[in-house]
Amino acid sequence: MRCTSHKAQTFINVRGNKFKLGHAAVAQMIGYVQNEPSKREAGGVLLGRYILGCEDVIVDRITMPTKRDRQSRFRFFRSARLHQQAIDEAWTSSGGTCNYLGEWHTHPEPDPSPSFIDMLGWRKKLLFDKFDSDVLYFVIVGTEQINAWQGHRRTLSIEKLHKAT
């Protein structure tokens, strides 16, 4: 199986709350799958909405790698400035409903899992990034599937989200 389905994907945390990657966001991420040795890691930020009346979240769009990002086969470093401009523009153009929700990047493995460096970076984001909730979401796009995690600001704990069936 290859990670080529552009369909929206929904994940669920232990409390039953949903985290949905919309069709457009999935389609863009799939374009960066590292399915050849020459392809470098790619990534960006997740932008989307909190659903009123519940704790569900939808990712409507993402940022993609920029010329200022640093990419290699096994590393991706997101340069802050251009991605922050995209976050600010999304917030302004949506009237304050499109939020920074977290980060995404690729791994050259079928069933991706975070590296030690990923976990360290995610905890730094939980500590230092400015965001409107108590959680950030982290997505890794592998060669065969997409996985997601939820990080908690107060405890710095990170839990893997399960795919909805």
Q: Report d(CA 20, CA 23) in Å as an integer.
A: 9
Alpha carbon distances (Å) from 55 to 10, 12, 47, 49, 58: 14, 11, 16, 10, 10
Tell me how far CA of residue 47 lies from CA of 14, 37, 64, 109, in angstroms: 23, 29, 11, 25
Write the CA distances from 11 to 30, 75, 125, 133, 162, integer angstroms. Answer: 17, 25, 21, 18, 5
Q: Which of 41, 55, 103, 144 is catalytic?
A: 41
Q: Is 41 an annotated catalytic residue?
A: yes
How far is it, in rounded angstroms, from Cα 64 to Cα 31?
Answer: 10
The span from the CA of 90 to the CA of 87, in Å, is 5
Q: Which residues partner with 104 through β-bridges? A: 44, 139
Any idea which residues carry the catalytic annotation?
Answer: 41
